[in-house]
Structure 1
């Protein structure tokens, strides 16, 4: 199985901010299930509107949330 080249650093940002997935879910108005899919690297895509809400609530830039890893 090939690892995805884009990884999501949601877990790291939540830990840095002392925030739970449920708190983030309430802040961005996205279900915990969908955030878990994103957090665990199973999402195939992310909408810009979702990315903007995540960045707003986590007080970060898109580059803080997403990482590109060369194969």
Structure 2
């Protein structure tokens, strides 16, 4: 399956907003904890990221005390 076809069949959704809200945490505070810029976290939060390093993913999950599956989910295209 070509990458363009994959984008049409399923999308990765980042639940960062929901997890931050549930933990009473801001994007800025998460940024300082995981040492990733607010801009890059915002790109991830708004489902605009094309890739994420495993080390970044692990750092975010550790900071939010969640599993990868709680942070990233799949959803049908809109």
- TM-score, scaled relative to structure 2: 0.83
Residue 49 (structure 1) aligned to one of 29, 51, 55? 55
User: Structure 1 residue 3: deviation in Å?
Assistant: 8.8
Q: What stretches of structure 2 of length at least 5 have no aligned partner?
A: 1-7
Q: Considering only aligned residues, what root-mean-square deviation do their CA atoms show, in Å?
A: 1.6
Provide closer, same or farther for how the CA distance between residues 4 and 36 of structure 1 changes in structure 2, counting only shifts above 3 A. farther
CA shift digits 1:12-37 (9 cap, x unpaired): 00000000000000000000010001
* Alignment coverage as a number of residue pairs: 70
Q: What stretches of structure 1 of length at least 5 have no aligned partner?
A: none
Residue 45 (structure 2) aligned to one of 39, 58, 62? 39
Moved over 4 A (4+): none
CA contact (8 A) 2:9 2:76 kept: no
**2:65 corresponding residue in structure 1:** 59
- TM-score, scaled relative to structure 1: 0.91
